[in-house]
Structure 1
Amino acid sequence: MTAYGSGKTAHDVMHEGAQCVGEHDNLRVAARMMRDLSVGALPICGEDDRLKGIITDRDIVVRCCAEGCDMDRTTAGELAGGLVWVNAEASVEEALEVMTSHQIKRLPVIDHHRLVGMISEADLAKELSDTELAEFVHRVYAGS
């Protein structure tokens, strides 16, 4: 990826106020939260208020609905993907590297072991040049 070099951190470009779905909440609760918040992914937090993973609308459709799982009995924690995040003080370049290396479109941002926000493609679009954004999109979607 090209050198971004703005000196900005993950905290500078993230959007704050990310709401978690509880790891023991069922998928219907998660789906309704996504609908109500107009988002396609939610961080999953445990009772200890720590990040446990992330769940996407695609996870619910492909890993639950298509498999005939009961949305009222399957919990968000059961579908939690790998725990990928970035520290709030990490550079934007580091956040981009994490996102591209894991081919993810949304990245939780952690500060002092707590979720403080999320970085999405829309957040990056505000910060990157057209060339940098195109390169990011190509690398993330290349394996999709």
Structure 2
Amino acid sequence: MKVSECMSRDIRICSPDHTLQSAAQVMADADAGFLPVGEADRLVGTVTDRDIAIRGVARGLAPDSPLSDVMSKQLLYCFEDEETDQALASMSENQVRRMPVVNRDKRLVGIISLADMAREGQGAPAGAALGDIARPRGAKATRS
């Protein structure tokens, strides 16, 4: 199955200069815990509700602090024309539950999550990937 067949296309994007509070509000409105961060029509990072809580609130950052203070700048993404097993392998290896999806011009076109893949009949592979994601970093996977 191709990533494009099960990804979410209804995405919201924040910019690095959005505030923590405004990004959290976008997440609340969209009922999402993950947002791509873009600037000048390019993906520059991602932010999760956990990033806001742990990297922001726990460190005492003000609600009006810029999102760039807490966002992940490591760009992990997959292509819309990739097979879902490739996306799952990357998610498992990088221990993430969601990834931005880009086209071959590297323009953001969606988001893929383990839940998306499980809903589309990829439950067993998604479950195995979740097991890898949940293990502590550096620990070896228990499956072969």
TM-score interval for Structure 1 and Structure 2 normalised by the shorter chain: 0.7 to 0.9
CA distance in 2, matches of 1:131, 1:87: 22
Matches within 5 A, 1:9-28: 9-28=2-21
Aligned residues of 1:25 and 1:76 also touching (Cα < 8 A): yes
Stretches of structure 2 that go unaligned for 5 or more consecutive residues are 138-144
Number of the residue aligned with 2:26:
33
Aligned residues of 1:52 and 1:77 also touching (Cα < 8 A): no
Number of the residue aligned with 1:5:
none
Give the TM-score normalised by structure 2: 0.87
Matches within 5 A, 1:1-144: 8-46=1-39, 48-72=40-64, 74-81=65-72, 82-111=74-103, 112-143=105-136
- AA aligned to 1:12 is E
Partner of 2:32: helix, strand, or coil? Answer: coil
CA distance in 1, matches of 2:68, 2:121: 33
- Identity over aligned pairs, percent: 30
Deviation at 1:141, TM superposition (A): 0.9
- For 1:67-120, what per-residue CA distance to the aligned partner results, in whole angstroms no more than 9, with x for missing partners? 111120x21223221110011111111101110010001110001221100011
CA distance in 1, matches of 2:125, 2:2: 16
Partner of 2:119: helix, strand, or coil? Answer: helix
Deviation at 1:58, TM superposition (A): 0.5
Partner of 2:75: helix, strand, or coil? Answer: coil
Give the TM-score normalised by structure 1: 0.87
CA distance in 2, matches of 1:100, 1:128: 18
Deviation at 1:130, TM superposition (A): 4.1
CA distance in 1, matches of 2:136, 2:4: 27
Partner of 1:98: helix, strand, or coil? Answer: helix
Partner of 1:15: helix, strand, or coil? Answer: coil
Aligned residues of 1:103 and 1:143 also touching (Cα < 8 A): no
Partner of 2:85: helix, strand, or coil? Answer: helix
CA RMSD of aligned residues (A): 1.4
The number of aligned residues is 135
Q: Which structure is higher in RCO with an 8 Å CA cutoff and minimum separation 6?
A: 1
CA distance in 2, matches of 1:103, 1:41: 14
